[in-house]
Amino acid sequence: MIRSFKRLVSSLLIVCLAGLGLPAHAGMLPTQAGAADNERGQMLSILDRQEVRAGLEARGVSPADVKARVAAMSDDEVAQLAGQIEKLPAGGDVLGILLTVFIVLLITDILGFTKIFPFTRSVR
C-alpha cells in the first residue's frame, strides 16, 4: 500500500516537474514582412522603458542614439537582436522556483523523508 502510494506520488511529481518550464504562446503568426516591423517596434518599445533609459544613461549612451541605430539596422539584425532578448531570463521565474521547492519539500515531508511542515503527517 505504502509502496504503491510512493510510486504514484513520485510519478505525479515527475509529470508535474516535466511540465514546468514549457512556455505556451497563443496568437496570430505575423507575415515575414510584418514580423520585421513588429520586432523593430518591440526593440523601440523596450528602449522607451524607464529602467532601460536609466541603464543606458548610466553607461554614457544616449537613448536617442540607440533608437537611431535600431532604426538603421537591417531586418535580419533586428530579428537576431529580438531573439537574443527573448532568450534572456526574466524575474518572474522566482515564483515558479519557490512553488516547485515548496511542492518537493511537501511531498518529501508526506513521504516521511523530512519533517519541515507541522501540518503534514507522514505515511510511514
Instruction: State pLDDT tens for residues 29-55.
Output: 555 555 667 788 887 888 888 887 888
Question: What is the reported pLDDT for 32?
Answer: 54
**What percentage of the chain reaches a pLDDT higher than 90?**
0
Q: What is the mean pLDDT of the chain?
A: 75
Dist CA 40 CA 79 (whole Å): 8
Over range 42-70, report the average pLDDT. 82
Residue 124 and residue 113 in contact, taking contact as beta carbons nearer than 8 Å: no
Three-class SS state of 52: helix
Question: What is the reported pLDDT for 22?
Answer: 55
Residue 114 and residue 108 in contact, taking contact as beta carbons nearer than 8 Å: yes
